[in-house]
Amino acid sequence: MTPPKRAPVRKKPSRAPTPARPGGAPIETIPLAAGKKGHPALGLGLWGLGRWTPEDEARTKATIGRAYERGVRWFDSAEVYGSGRSERVLGEVLHRTATAGSDTFVVTKVSWEHLRPNQVRAALVGSLERLGRSSVDLYLVHAPDPHVPLAETMPVLEALWKEGKVGAIGVSNFSEEQLEEAARHLAETRLVVNQVRYNLFDRDEADPVRAYCRAHDILLEAYTPLARGLLHGRYLDGKRIPTEVRKFAHRLFEPDRLPEIVRRARDLRALASSAKVPLASIAFHWLRAQGAAPVFGASRPEQIDENLVAWSVRPPAGVLERADRIAQGVRA
């Protein structure tokens, strides 16, 4: 195992005030083991914001704008999202705000197809151009490429960090072995994040890396925290599930799993209702209790409002424990 390169920093949410947000609690900041800025505890992901038609783009801008207005500062994008449109739209919206350069936490990712040394640098240049900024706060390897050794990729990322173009370095969809290998090729900084699919129903990626990440002060960012809306109570009453939701939700919506997942989600909805909390509060705060920072998706401004209300409600620990068992199929 690669020893940590600096003294570990405990990831306790800071008490530092975050931007005022009408109608909800502020989003705390989690200190990172390296990097200039703290990491917001909740973020907005900009992958599936729309189908990238002109109307969708207007709605996407309104959604990002609403998130910023309401205090969201962590925005997660990638060069592959909408083939660069996600980054461009984010850049356009943030440019309208006076302080967006300094108070946001902008994350983007280099594609698994661009992990050769010359490609990494070119990919970041393209992302920065689209975002309209000179640096990003966190740059992630979107996923490993089994054909490109991390010994080629990581030193370039470190060079970009030294040049100040990248505030911190992380990865996504990495196993423990891949995390160890990536860490081995960083000399002066360290990995601070592993972004993985993680929600009450879907723990296959996160569970095997949790202990390693905790031991090495690597924050787990949880994508698909709402199970594409299931953990908002969507699709529980027979409504048709759109193809793109089925397609991009991993195995949750596949016919062999769906009836059981829907049954458990209905039980979770009943638990939320008896505890008088939104179902999404349980989804978010269960992740938080596991030490993960959720990055949710939203395709309209109202969803931002609802999700921030859900974040501001903290379900009691007993409710989260009960939810944990229900999601795993343990019947009362």
Ligand X SMILES: NC(=O)c1ccc[n+]([C@@H]2O[C@H](COP(=O)([O-])OP(=O)(O)OC[C@H]3O[C@@H](n4cnc5c(N)ncnc54)[C@H](OP(=O)(O)O)[C@@H]3O)[C@@H](O)[C@H]2O)c1
278 lines the binding site for ligand X (CB under 6 A)? no
Instruction: Work out the number of other CB atoms within 10 angstroms of the CB of residue 104.
Output: 21
32 lines the binding site for ligand X (CB under 6 A)? no
- Scan residues 79-118 and list those touching ligand X (CB under 6 A): none
- Scan residues 159-198 and list those touching ligand X (CB under 6 A): 172-173, 195
What's the CA dihedral at 213, 218, 224, 227 to 10 degrees? 40
Residue among 208 and 331 whose Cβ is closer to ligand X: 208
63 lines the binding site for ligand X (CB under 6 A)? no
Confirm if 314 and 249 have CB atoms less than 8 A apart.
no
297 lines the binding site for ligand X (CB under 6 A)? yes
Residue 17 Cβ, how far from ligand X at the closest point, in Å?
26
Which residues have CB under 8 Å from 108's CB, separation 6+? 76, 77, 78, 79, 87, 127, 131, 136, 139, 140
Radius of gyration of the chain (CA): 19
In 3D space, the residue among 69, 126, 124 whose CA is nearest the CA of residue 100 turns out to be 69
225, 271, 311, 315: residue in contact with ligand X (rule CB under 6 A): 225
In 3D space, the residue among 188, 121, 177, 107 whose CA is nearest the CA of residue 152 turns out to be 121
First to last CA, the chain: 40
Residue 242 Cβ, how far from ligand X at the closest point, in Å?
7
Q: Could you tell me which stretch among 45-53, 56-64, 118-126, 178-186 binds ligand X (CB under 6 A)? A: 45-53
234 lines the binding site for ligand X (CB under 6 A)? yes
Q: Measured on CA atoms in the order 24, 316, 300, 100, is the torsion positive or negative?
A: positive
307 lines the binding site for ligand X (CB under 6 A)? yes
How many residues sit close enough to ligand X to count as binding (CB under 6 A)?
Answer: 27
296, 301, 313, 320: residue in contact with ligand X (rule CB under 6 A): 296
The amino acid at 78: A
- By CB under 6 A, name the binding residues for ligand X: 45-48, 76, 142, 172-173, 195, 223-229, 232, 234, 245, 295-299, 303, 306-307
